[in-house]
């Protein structure tokens, strides 16, 4: 078991998780503030908070999680990151709509569940398309 926990991919996922927790804290706080304090529709709040947290996540991921690929320009790297993030936003919005509007689950709980699902998509797609390590 100890060997499994020291594998590079597991170490990389730990770093990804820490960055994700920080990004989620920003995402969550902004979602709640926009929805509760400013009475913005939960789907609009979800999109805005997601985009802000993705910008933070991008900066932290480049610095701490995914080594830059020498065979890829920063412009191409950002473009791929933005496309993957847009897909993640789409998944989040669909999950939020289904959870809140269709299943009548509180938007706060739905956001946690959606984030959990989209986190896995984010890690594996970013690792595949953006990481210099395998």
Digit-coded pLDDT (tens) for 71-108: 888 888 889 988 999 999 999 999 999 999 999 999 99
Q: pLDDT tier at 34 (50, 70, 90 boundaries)?
A: very high
Q: pLDDT tier at 63 (50, 70, 90 boundaries)?
A: confident
Question: Token pair of 1, please?
Answer: 């078991």
Question: Token pair of 93, please?
Answer: 């919005």
Task: Count other C-beta atoms under 10 Å from residue 121's C-beta.
Answer: 14
pLDDT reading at 21 higher than 90:
yes
Q: pLDDT tier at 133 (50, 70, 90 boundaries)?
A: low
The full DSSP string for 22-80 is: HHHHHHHHHHHIIIIIS---HHHHHHHHHHHHHHHHHHHHHHHTSPPPTTS-HHHHHHH
């Amino acid at each position: 078991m100890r060997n499994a926990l020291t594998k590079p991919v597991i170490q990389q996922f730990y770093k990804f998780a820490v960055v994700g927790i920080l990004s989620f804290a920003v995402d969550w706080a902004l979602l709640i503030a926009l929805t509760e304090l400013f009475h913005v529709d939960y789907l609009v709040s979800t999109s805005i908070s997601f985009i802000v947290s993705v910008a933070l996540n991008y900066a932290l991921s480049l610095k701490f999680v995914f080594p830059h690929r020498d065979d890829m320009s920063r412009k191409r790297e950002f473009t791929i990151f933005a496309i993957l993030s847009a897909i993640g936003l789409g998944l989040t919005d669909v999950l939020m709509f289904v959870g809140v509007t269709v299943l009548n689950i509180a938007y706060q709980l739905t956001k946690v569940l959606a984030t959990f699902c989209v986190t896995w998509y984010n890690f594996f797609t970013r690792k595949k398309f953006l990481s210099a390590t395998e």
